Amino acid sequence: MHIDRIEAKSILDTRGRPTIETTLFSGTLEATASVPSGKSTGKHEALELRDADDSVAQAIKNVNGEIATAITERDFNSLDELDNFLISLDGTPNKSRLGANAILSVSIAAMRLSALQENMPLWQAIAKRAGTTPSTPRLFVNVMNGGAHAGFPSNKFGTGKLPFQEYLLVVEGKTSETFPIAQELFAKLGELLWKPGVHNNCGRLASTTSMGDEGGYAPTFDTLEKPFELLAELVKEFPNTSIAIDAAASELFHDGVYQLLGKSYSPDELAAIYRELVERFSLHSIEDPFAENAGTDFAKLTATLNSPSTPLGATTLVVGDDLTVTNPARIIEAAKNKEINAVLIKPNQIGTVKEALEAVRETYNAGWEVVASHRSGETSDTFIADFAYGIGAHGLKAGGFAQPERLVKYERLLAIEHEAETR
Ligand code: PEP
Ligand code: MG
């Protein structure tokens, strides 16, 4: 591959914050990629380079300057060679010199460019590169936002009104069937939340504008169970649907205890809550049930929820996000200690497509599931949909339906289904 020219610029994400978009030019072809941005970011993630004024001007300068000069001087025999070159050009363990956002924008655009050169759909090029069998991911649709994504940060005073960061509905099947079901569920939930009297005052939206960062509703509840009771009512009407959460528990962890709705819980007390929720509401998965360095607590919960004696018969996924940060070495470590049984893969946590695919490989080597994921600050780039399909992910987290930047990912999955059926 030879890249003739690179152009990076600033665009705005769903929170109105600047992020980077990069276009690569090669002969008559060009490919563009933009990079999302997290809010509840793990401490061990690669570094998103931001300037003091919150812009990404330096990251853009790095792409248009140093990276462009170095890359356009060479030919690359493979995408892995290009990604390795970017990694060594940066030279730091967490891509803090050039910025993981700068590097990933080039890495994804190059993956897209290569698919164009091979005249292949992106998902197929990803599958070929990864050696995976493409398949349709379950939709992990964000329906209610809590925690940091709803302006309800947990603190030691427990002001959060919806403590877990994400309440999701999982829908399994072909996208052309699951997407309409998910839309119907999303609309029904909205009706229930806007008419609280109809539903025993289960939930209440603070106002008609109460939507969270990920495009789901952001209601308030006065108990931990009520949001689950509401979702359980909805899923019982639809086959192949279930409830999942992202506790994002690093955000709940203060002074050695977890703070939920104004009360403190030890790790064991929190584990007992999860167990009860799993048993009562048949949770499909729990992401980040504990803080990012609490691997031992993850391992205990994974063993408890997946012992054959549990009422669900060992089917609950315990998903690592801040724990594993799409980092192959951290996934290997988690596998050694049996900390989890599924991994969230967010390419911008590690900074190149090559390393994200290595993280997928290590997850599969451990015998675990992959859930591919967007970030809470998103762009209209749909790479993650092709990625999820190409690697045969168990699921795709792409947000709620109230933001176009989330909808385009689902629409891309629909288009992929069509492409795959008509090839
Ligand atoms: C998450 O925690 O899974 C998530 C999508 O949020 P963020 O992008 O803020 O990390
Ligand atoms: Mg998470």
* Ligand 1 center–CA 376 separation, angstroms: 5
What confidence tens digit (pLDDT) does each residue in 202-256 have?
A: 555 655 557 889 999 988 888 899 999 999 999 999 999 999 999 999 999 999 9
Catalytic residue among 39, 95, 346, 397: 346
Is the beta carbon of 226 within 6 A of some atom in ligand 1? no
**CB 40 near ligand 1, within 6 Å:** yes
Q: What is the pLDDT of residue 343?
A: 98
| Three-state DSSP state, 307 | coil
| Two tokens, residue 407 | 């909808």
Tokens 């018969």 identify what position? Answer: 313
The answer to whether 346 is a known catalytic residue is yes
24 Cα: distance to centroid of ligand 2 (angstroms): 31
Examine the pLDDT at 294 and tell me if it is beyond 50. Answer: yes
Tens of pLDDT, residue by residue over 88-115, are 999 999 999 999 999 999 999 999 999 9
CA distances (Å), origin 323, targets 92, 243, 392, 415: 21, 22, 22, 33
* DSSP per-residue codes, 83-110: HHHHHHHH-STT-TTT-HHHHHHHHHHH
Question: What separation in Å is there between the alpha carbon of 349 and the centre of ligand 1?
Answer: 10
> Ligand 1 pocket, 220 CB below 6 A?
no
39 lines ligand 1 (CB under 6 A): yes
Query: DSSP for 342-397?
Result: EEEE-GGGTSSHHHHHHHHHHHHHTT-EEEEE--SB--S--HHHHHHHHTT-SEEE
Amino acid at 132: T
Q: How far is ligand 1, taken at its centre, from the CA of residue 176, in Å?
A: 26
- Report the pLDDT value the prediction gives residue 164, as an integer from 0 to 100: 94
- Is 150 within 8 Å of 39 (Cβ atoms)? no
| Mean of pLDDT over the chain | 93
* Cα separations in angstroms, 88 against 85, 92, 97: 5, 8, 11
How many angstroms separate the alpha carbon of residue 399 from the centre of ligand 1?
A: 10
Position 132 scores a pLDDT of 98
Q: Are 162 and 179 in contact (CB under 8 A)?
A: no
- Pocket test of ligand 1: the residue of 343, 375, 406, 409 to mutate, having most ligand atoms within 8 Å of its CB, is 375
Take residue 380 and report the two structure tokens written for it: 């209209």
pTM of this structure:
0.95
Can you list the domains of the chain with their CATH numbers? 5-119 (3.30.390.10), 129-422 (3.20.20.120)
For residue 321, the ligand 1 atom closest to its alpha carbon is 3
d(CA 408, CA 396): 13
**Residue 38 CA: which ligand is closest?**
1
Question: 376, 378, 405: which to mutate for ligand 1, most atoms within 8 A of CB?
Answer: 376
Q: 151: part of which helix (H) or strand (E)?
A: none
Residue 238 DSSP code: S
30 is catalytic: no
Amino acid at the residue 267: P
pLDDT of residue 222: 81
Q: Which residue has the tokens 């996208």?
A: 175
- Whether 23 and 30 have beta carbons less than 8 Å apart is answered as yes
Chain centroid to Cα 237, Å, comes to 27
The residue among 131, 130, 150 whose CA lies nearest residue 142 is 150
Given ligand 1 and candidates 15, 35, 39, which is best to mutate, with the most ligand atoms within 8 Å of its CB? 39
Q: Which atom of ligand 1 is nearest to the CA of 39?
A: 9
Question: DSSP 3-state assignment of 13?
Answer: coil
pLDDT higher than threshold 90 for residue 200: no
Separation of CA 248 and ligand 2 centre (Å): 5
When pLDDT is cut at 50, 70 and 90, the band that residue 194 belongs to is confident
> Cα–Cα distance between 352 and 229 in angstroms, integer?
40
pLDDT of 155 above 60:
no
